[in-house]
Amino acid sequence: MRTPETWSVRDAPEEITVYEVGARDGLQNEQTVVPVEVKAEFIERLVDAGARAVELTSFVRGDLVPRMGDAEQLMARLSLPADVRSVALTPNLRGVQRALECGIREVAIFASATETFSQRNLNCSIDESLARFEPVVALARANGVAVRAYVSMCWGDPWEGVVPLEAVVRVGCRMMDLGASELSLGDTIGVATPGHVVALLDAFGAAGVARDRLAVHFHDTYGQALANAAAAIGAGVRIVDTSAGGLGGCPFAKSASGNLATEDLLWHLHGQGVRTGIDLAALVETSEWLAAHLGRPSPSRVVQALTR
Amino acid sequence: MRTPETWSVRDAPEEITVYEVGARDGLQNEQTVVPVEVKAEFIERLVDAGARAVELTSFVRGDLVPRMGDAEQLMARLSLPADVRSVALTPNLRGVQRALECGIREVAIFASATETFSQRNLNCSIDESLARFEPVVALARANGVAVRAYVSMCWGDPWEGVVPLEAVVRVGCRMMDLGASELSLGDTIGVATPGHVVALLDAFGAAGVARDRLAVHFHDTYGQALANAAAAIGAGVRIVDTSAGGLGGCPFAKSASGNLATEDLLWHLHGQGVRTGIDLAALVETSEWLAAHLGRPSPSRVVQALTR
């Protein structure tokens, strides 16, 4: 079978926005460094397949994150349709300046829900990171550029363990207060389960954040990503972050911890009659093509099943 | 994190019966042949970890299914507690006679929802297979032995494509009429999605089969197994078939199509405060131990995450 049978579900949404993070979150966490022309073709193929929200790259220091050191060259190669949300990660003021020079339409920032990961990943406290984002968001918005905000470690932290709901809501709400228009809640280590997912969504609701501002971002480290996405959708979330082919986690590496694979989510959604606008077959072909460049099979089960 | 945080969910069941198929469905579909003493230790470890429903082996012809050719030797080695459902697959009268001689307490039979798979797997039509099961069930029940009935290809067939709900219900109900006490609905090729899962459960309900007689048996070929199990549980199913470590599907083989991994289901259930009686850490240790005998890592994401 090349596509799932469609069995409509009562209360299922008509449409879900799939926010494609493969070119950024995915490739940034792959062992193989992909040449800029392959990245550009990958993104164009994603858009041709119907992706309408795509994270392109990260404007970081190339000496610190070599995989993303080609942001300007990549942007120069791309010519994306106006109806595509094309987003770049910009961790600081210099990043957003560079992104604006490239004509970016939307930027993303990221903070941690826990102090330990903030120190380890951003090298500063949560408060310091938020203070750093203030001029980033201000500059973006002054240029008519929307801001997406990520919160990582929302459901568990490898050093701190349990992450209180209040801690996540506090960080998320402060980013919204700065001027972000969308909040992506990340299960960075993949430990969440549905009751916890819904509890956090409800905590944001109680704090006044509307459901349509929330996205969910699950990693499949414990095999829970799709079931958690289903629970979030059941609770009213309409934006789900995924990576084509499950990029970012190699099934042959001990550190496998990739994003939810776009194809696996599409099978689940299309099977329920939920529209995504993405052509599954074209996406599978794209992931297979990229896997050849990465020199290993895709960890997406759907890609594996359909390319046998 | 070694165990999921517990976040209770309203309407979640207090308990789920995990029916462990690793020693039979799992090992039968592994490339490596496992010695009988390893199989016996595997089953004893499963029971020690808390498994209370375990499929042990299959009484088939050893010349046709070499991996299961040691059923008598295995049974002779086992001494399982009386509160453990210990089940053997018995495809025909000779099989159930052999199983009874070994003191089996419960047997399982299997039919296909589609004619093509019936011919290919059982070498006979659906009607012929059901006629063959009549004396099997009669002999089992005359000896006070319960019968579990599997239906395969319930949500899709590689040759026939769409499988009408009525076709599945017809086969399932005929097996219940023969005297089976539990019906396990198998997504043999892993293509189901939640709307279709619930539609089939409802069709059985409309045909008079109580929910507590139904089990679900998902393969993870398309990455849908856990989300489908969650949907079935949400619709009232309380028995889920899984295999320890995801046995039966090797992540390094192109034909990867294993059962839902017991550990991945446990993470999902325990995280919601649903009891299974199984100790996750002990089960992971068992799967890691068996993976060493199989010469490859477990495809279970939870096993991979916890044994890094």
Q: Which two tokens stand for residue A254?
A: 């001990």
Give the pLDDT of residue B29: 83
Q: Say whether pLDDT at B250 is over 80.
A: no
Main-chain phi, psi angles of B245, to 5 degrees: 70, 5
Token couple for B186: 């198998």
The answer, yes or no, to whether residue B256 has pLDDT greater than 60, is no
- ipTM of this complex prediction, to 2 decimal places: 0.95
Look-up of token digits 């063959």? B132
Under the banding of pLDDT at 50, 70 and 90, the label for residue B205 is very high
User: Would you say residue B252 has pLDDT above 70?
Assistant: no
Give chain B positions within 8 Å (CB) of A199. 7
A227 touches A258 (CB < 8 A): no
| Lowest-confidence region among A98-107, A293-302, B245-254 | B245-254
Q: Which residue has 């203070």 as its token pair?
A: A131
Q: Look at residue B73 in the predicted model and tell me its pLDDT.
A: 97
Q: What is the pLDDT of residue A31?
A: 82
pLDDT, position A256: 46
Task: Say which of B226, B254, B308 has its CB closest to residue A223.
Answer: B226
Identify the sign of the CA torsion A23, A28, A30, A33. Answer: positive
Instruction: Check CB contact under 8 Å for A264 and B222.
Output: yes
pLDDT at B135 over 90: yes
- Reported as a single tens digit per residue, the pLDDT across A23-37 is 998 998 888 889 999
**Res A249: pLDDT:** 63
* Longest Cα separation, chain A: 51
Would the CB atoms of A195 and B8 count as touching at under 8 Å? yes
Separation CA A288–CA B115 (nearest Å):
34
- Which of B161, B223, B267 comes nearest A264 by C-beta? B223
Share of chain A above pLDDT 90, in %: 84
Three-class DSSP category at B216: strand
- Which class for A15: exposed (0-12), middle (13-18), buried (19 or more C-beta within 10 A)? exposed
Q: At what angle do helices B165-178 and B194-206 cross, to 10 degrees?
A: 50
Q: What is the DSSP track for A3-42?
A: SPPP---TT--SB-EEEE-IIIIIHHT-SSPPPHHHHHHH
> Average pLDDT, stretch B257-263?
91
Dihedral sign from CA coordinates of A108, A113, A118, A124: positive
Q: Compute the average pLDDT of residues B109-125.
A: 94
Residues of A in contact with B271 (CB under 8 A): 192-196, 224
| C-beta separation of B236 from B211 below 8 A | yes
Q: In terms of CA atoms, which chain B residue is nearest residue A223? A: B301
pLDDT at position B245, please? Answer: 95
Query: Chain B residue closest to A306 (CA)?
Result: B222
Structure tokens at A43: 């993104």
* pLDDT for A255: 44
Crossing angle for the helix pair B36-48 and B280-294, to the nearest 10 degrees: 170
Does B254 score more than 50 pLDDT? no
Q: For A137-184, write each residue's pLDDT tens digit.
A: 999 999 999 999 999 999 999 999 989 999 999 999 999 999 999 999
Q: Which residue has the higher pLDDT, B255 or B187?
A: B187
Asked if the model's pLDDT at residue A85 lies above 70, the reply is: yes
**pLDDT for A21 beyond 50:** yes
Predicted confidence (pLDDT) per residue in A225-269, tens digit: 999 999 999 999 999 999 999 998 654 444 447 899 999 999 999
Check CB contact under 8 Å for A272 and B193.
yes
Q: Which helix (H) or strand (E) holds B199?
A: helix B194-206
Residue B159 has pLDDT above 70, yes or no: yes
Residue type present at position B69: G
- Please give the structure tokens belonging to residue B111: 């039919």
Evaluate if residue B9 carries a pLDDT over 90.
no
Output the pTM of the full model.
Answer: 0.96
- Which range (A31-45, A145-159, A204-218, B2-16) has the least confidence? B2-16
CB contact under 8 A, A195 and B272: yes
Residue with tokens 């002779």: B76
Q: How close B264 comes to chain A (CA, Å)? A: 6
Full set of structural domains in chain A with CATH: 17-306 (3.20.20.70)
Q: Which residues does chain B have within 8 Å of residue A198's beta carbon, measured at their own beta carbons?
A: 9
Residue B253 has pLDDT above 50, yes or no: no
Joined together, the tokens standing for residue A107 give 């930027």
Burial class of residue A288, CB neighbours in 10 A (0-12, 13-18, 19+): middle
CA distance B207 to chain A (A): 20
Q: A252 is written with which tokens?
A: 């042959």
Separation of CA B176 from chain center: 17
Residues of A with active-site annotation = 250
- Given a contact cutoff of 8 angstroms between Cβ atoms, the answer to whether B88 and B99 are in contact is yes
Distance from the Cα of B12 to chain A's closest Cα (Å) equals 9
**Are A211 and A237 a contacting pair, CB within 8 Å?**
yes
d(CA A74, CA A71): 5
Measured between beta carbons, the chain A residues lying within 8 angstroms of B304 are: 254, 256
The identity of residue A87, as a single letter, is V
Q: What is the mean pLDDT of residues B207-235?
A: 97
DSSP H helical ranges for chain A? 27-28, 36-48, 71-77, 93-101, 115-117, 126-142, 165-178, 194-206, 225-234, 262-270, 280-294, 301-306
C-alpha neighbours within 13 Å on the C-beta side of residue B107: 34
pLDDT confidence of residue A253? 45
B30 or B15: which leads in pLDDT = B15
What single-letter DSSP state applies at residue A61?
-
Confidence at residue A11, expressed as pLDDT on a 0 to 100 scale: 83
Return the amino acid letter for A151. Answer: V
A-to-B residue pairs, Cβ atoms closer than 8 angstroms:
147
Confidence of residue A308 (pLDDT cuts 50, 70, 90): confident
**What is the Cα–Cα distance from A297 to A293, expressed in whole angstroms?**
10
Residues from chain A that touch B264, judged by Cβ atoms under 8 A, are: 222-224
